[in-house]
Amino acid sequence: PIVLGIESTCDETAAAIVQGRTLRSNVVASSMNEHARYGGVIPEIASRAHAEAFVPVVGKALADAGLELSDVDAIAVSAGPGLAGCLAVGVSGAKALAYAANKPLYGVNHVIGHIAVTQLQFGPFPDDTLALIVSGGHTSLLHVRDVARHVDVVGTTLDDAAGECFDKVARLLGFPYPGGPHIDRHARLGDPRAIRVPQGLTQGKAAARHPYDFSFSGVKTAVARWIEEQRALGNEIPVDDVCASLADSVASVLAKKAINGCRRFDSRTLIVGGGFSANSQLRTKLAEVGEDNGVQVRIPRIGLCTDNGAMVAMLGVNLVEAGVGPSSPGFPIDSAMPMSKILMD
Ligand code: ATP
Ligand code: MG
Ligand code: FE
């Protein structure tokens, strides 16, 4: 099937066409430069930007694929989780398109889209596979029985997401928002053993009680305290070393727990997705542990890690192929859509 995917959960207005497992077009417009000076995404500004970008972005996705709206078999749109005002713009626009062109519409889970997108590079998922979601808003391990029908949450962060943790430390170091990519760049130049950064829920009782859960708030606190101490001593902050130590700790925990999950669910494949999967330290770590444990790690190419329309279209293809859905004409948005819910009824 040919599916038009539309994304508007946060600051990206994005649309893409996927046909089967082939990406035919992929257009992303971001309002991030309008938010950067506020140190975070401002919902009102983002919603307004979606309203402006929606028609041009969808139009370009169709034009780049050499298609008209009448040529697509279905439309998929992120129905949640995300910023309510942003979701409302994308979902309303998608409903209008689906109504006007008489196409089935699928209101899908954005986070599941982040893992579905790997199929463009690696083909369909094996049954009962394990997935690691790492983004600005989420850090979870999922047991994916069937991506169109059944996903279970195996573990999740008890506090901050991995991306959020990087963004918070980046702020301490004076990097502009979002700081994740800046930490990545500096981490490549530093010594990962320079400072001690805790690895939450990996030892003792806490690890036993939360084998597949994550905790990153202690990381930020430890780094913040260390920086304060150094400043009080009048020492210059070795930014590269701080970034390298932080990145090594976070990437190690993610890789360790993901592999433990693969063992527990007997999965020879690990699907990885979400904006933080662009992180080079995580990519290296996962490649290492995958190799050591005989697990094939499927991680999107950098351009498909952060929010895009291809991930939404790919999940739409999965639902069309499985005969699940479409959503009802009046389906709602859900800014806190749980990961176990793949499609809005
Ligand atoms: P969600 O998908 O959970 O709703 P989101 O859409 O806000 O959250 P994404 O766009 O998927 O998140 O990812 C953005 C996050 O990824 C930010 O926290 C950003 O700092 C982080 N990020 C992007 N690239 C990198 C990188 N190379 N290293 C570390 N973090 C990165
Ligand atoms: Mg974004
Ligand atoms: Fe996302």
pLDDT digits (tens, 9 = 90+) for 257-307: 999 999 999 999 999 999 999 999 999 999 999 999 999 999 999 999 999
CA atoms within 13 A on the CB side of 275: 22
Is 90 exceeded by the pLDDT of residue 315? yes
pLDDT for position 36: 86
Q: Which residue owns the Cα nearest ligand 1 atom 27?
A: 279
Task: Kindly report the length of the chain.
Answer: 345
Ligand 1 atom having least distance to the Cα of 307: 10
Decide if pLDDT at 221 tops 90.
Answer: yes
Per-residue pLDDT, 42:
97
pLDDT value, residue 291: 98
User: Does pLDDT of 225 surpass 90?
Assistant: yes
pLDDT of residue 180: 97
Tell me: is residue 85 an annotated ligand-binding position: no
Query: What's the mean pLDDT in 199-207?
Result: 96
Mean pLDDT of 165-180: 95
Distance (Å) of CA 171 to CA 23, 39, 52, 180: 36, 8, 30, 10
Inform me whether the pLDDT recorded for 29 exceeds 90. Answer: yes
Q: Is 167 known as a binding-site position?
A: yes
pLDDT score recorded for residue 135: 94
ipTM of the complex: 0.97
Span from the CA of 279 to the centroid of ligand 3 (angstroms): 14
Which residues lie with the beta carbon below 6 Å from any ligand 1 atom? 9-10, 81-82, 110-111, 114, 135-138, 163, 166-167, 178, 180-181, 183-184, 274-276, 278-279, 306-307
pLDDT at 173 over 90: yes
The label of the residue with tokens 């592999």 reads: 259
Beta-bridge partners for 23: 18
pLDDT over 90 at 37, yes or no: no
Average pLDDT of the residues in 58-81: 98
Is the pLDDT score of 192 beyond 90? yes
Average pLDDT value for residue range 218-224: 94
* Residues 335/80, Cβ–Cβ less than 8 Å: yes
Of the listed ligands, the closest to the CA of 305 is: 1
Which ligand has an atom closest to residue 306 CA? 1
72 annotated ligand binder: no
Tell me the residues surrounding ligand 2 (ion) with CB < 5 Å: 10-11, 307
| Backbone dihedral angles phi then psi of residue 140, each to the nearest 5 degrees | -150, 155
Cβ 84 vs Cβ 78: under 8 Å: no
Which letter does DSSP use for residue 236 in this model? P
**Alpha-carbon torsion angle 151, 302, 333, 82, nearest 10:** 100
Q: What is the pLDDT of residues 109-156, one digit of tens each?
A: 999 999 999 999 999 999 999 999 999 999 999 999 999 999 999 999
